[in-house]
Amino acid sequence: MEIAANNPSLKSWVEVPENSDFPIQNLPFGIFKTNQLTARVGSRIGDMVIDLKSLFVLGYFTNLPFEMKDFDSQTLNSLMKKGKKGTRDLRNRLSKLLEIGHTDLKINEHHVDQVFIPVDQVEMLLPVEIGDYTDFYSSREHATNVGTMFRDPNNALLPNWLWIPVGYHGRSSSVIVSGVDIHRPKGQIRPIATEDPILSASQRVDFELEMGFITYDGKPLGDSISTEESEDFIFGMCLFNDWSARDIQTWEYVPLGPFLAKNFASSMSPWIVTLDALEPFRIEGPKQEPEVLSYLKFEGKKSYDIQLEVALKPELVEETTICKSNFKYMYWNMSQQLAHHTINGCNIRCGDLMGSGTISGPTPDSYGSMLELSWKGEKPLTLKDGTERKFVKDNDTVIMRGHAEKDNVRVGFGEVRSKLLPAKN
Ligand code: CA
């Protein structure tokens, strides 16, 4: 089905800078506040944040299934409760109001003044009250690299990997929005394999280049979501840095998997780009061999061509781009992840967050973590300021960016950034 707001020929009467991630074809959702305005739902076009609460109050969303509380909210959950049709109609309405030939809003100067706020005057907040956070491990290149380093290059993928979208349950309490800094975590590490472990600040703090998707309400406990239905349950996507402490991970992860190495922080970008807006950027995923079980089969293009990059910025000097990857490299797609997650009857809820797992591409400059980029620290990276990195240093800022581009339309995510501060005493 054609989505009106995706028409590549649409232009807006609102100025959009060249190469902006936020043309009229994007219209993501987020939560913002300003010195004057309480937290509320917003969208974005160019360098302007659009106050959707004000648009609602001013009567621009008549005949849509929304109430004041859906916009006058510190999270998007209430809005997402309206489901795919509701949010699609809302985005289409917004698109219409901003379209160049449409004057309802444009001619109302005092409405325009009230509704548009320059992006540098707002503070973006965590957009979703995340119920459960699940992290997958769906990049074949990443799983192969990690398996090669830690186990056996000849059997890098474990036997289940090509059959199951492997995942684990993460922790939602420590998911933070872009701009929130974190402290280097402490924990048990065992620097010398033949000696006892010690309590220490992690010496191997790493990022993981991931994307996340946010769900609508799912089905009741006991029911499953098929790959065919899956997209009706996905609201949108964000950039996601799943911070990791490799030395804590190495010691703790046997036999039940990651715990404190992963749950100290995960950073997400503030704008949720709807799955609708990403529709034009569908692409075929990697060929799956062996053939997957029937509940993981799917029709059509379920991968997305989203260019990703990671930059590292030491304190006071310019950033260096250290990785360029693409979401299309994911072996397991979101529909398969959701079908697998619910095949046992596990229910998902409005506001759940699903991480893709680290997105590594086929070449060494497309690896999505320092662990892989520096190959366990054996091949340090050299930054523009001449300093070397094996892992993330104190006061380094990690910045991830992503966008899709086709037919001269660029739909992007902006960025997720956060700085690693020294460990607390
Ligand atoms: Ca992860």
Residues 85 and 166 in one domain: no
For the segment 204-226, the average pLDDT, to the nearest whole number, is 98
133-178 pLDDT, tens digit each: 999 999 999 999 999 998 889 999 999 999 999 999 999 999 999 9
We report the CATH number of the domain holding residue 74 as: 2.30.30.230
HSE-up of 175 (CA within 13 Å, CB side)? 27
Residues 89 and 179 in one domain: no
Residues 185 and 105 in one domain: no
Share of the chain above pLDDT 90, in %: 98
Asked if the model's pLDDT at residue 244 lies above 90, the reply is yes
- CA of 5 from ligand 1 middle (Å) equals 33
We report the CATH number of the domain holding residue 212 as: 3.90.850.10
- CA of 89 from ligand 1 middle (Å) equals 33
Residues 17 and 141 in one domain: no
> In which band, very low, low, confident or very high, does the pLDDT at 297 lie, cut at 50, 70 and 90?
very high
Point out the residues that are catalytic: 142
Share of the chain above pLDDT 70, in %: 100
Residues 146 and 91 in one domain: no
Asked if the model's pLDDT at residue 330 lies above 90, the reply is yes
Which of these three, 125, 151, 176, is where a domain ends?
125
- CA of 99 from ligand 1 middle (Å) equals 39
- CA of 120 from ligand 1 middle (Å) equals 31
Q: Tell me 292's DSSP state.
A: P
- Please give the Cα distance from 116 to 34 (Å, whole number): 12
Residues 271 and 325 in one domain: yes
| Helix (H/G/I), strand (E/B), else coil: 422 | coil
- CA of 42 from ligand 1 middle (Å) equals 28
Residues 118 and 137 in one domain: no
H-state helical runs in 133-283: 140-150, 246-252, 275-278
Which of these three, 104, 125, 146, is where a domain ends?
125
Residues 263 and 408 in one domain: yes
Residues 152 and 98 in one domain: no
- Please give the Cα distance from 86 to 66 (Å, whole number): 8
- CA of 8 from ligand 1 middle (Å) equals 34
- Domain residues for the domain of 272 are 133-421
- Quote the mean pLDDT of the chain: 97
76-108 pLDDT, tens digit each: 999 999 999 999 999 999 999 999 999 999 999
Residues 30 and 157 in one domain: no
Residues 116 and 160 in one domain: no
Q: Which residues contact 367 (CB under 8 A, 6 or more apart)?
A: 141, 142, 145, 323, 325, 360, 361, 373
| Helix (H/G/I), strand (E/B), else coil: 30 | strand
- CA of 297 from ligand 1 middle (Å) equals 24
- CA of 43 from ligand 1 middle (Å) equals 28
Which of these three, 68, 95, 125, is where a domain ends?
125
pLDDT value at residue 1: 63
Torsion region of 244: left, alpha or beta (phi above 0 gives left; psi -120 to 50 gives alpha): beta
pLDDT value at residue 102: 96
pLDDT value at residue 385: 97
Number of domain units in the chain: 2
pLDDT value at residue 2: 84
pLDDT value at residue 276: 98
Residues 162 and 271 in one domain: yes
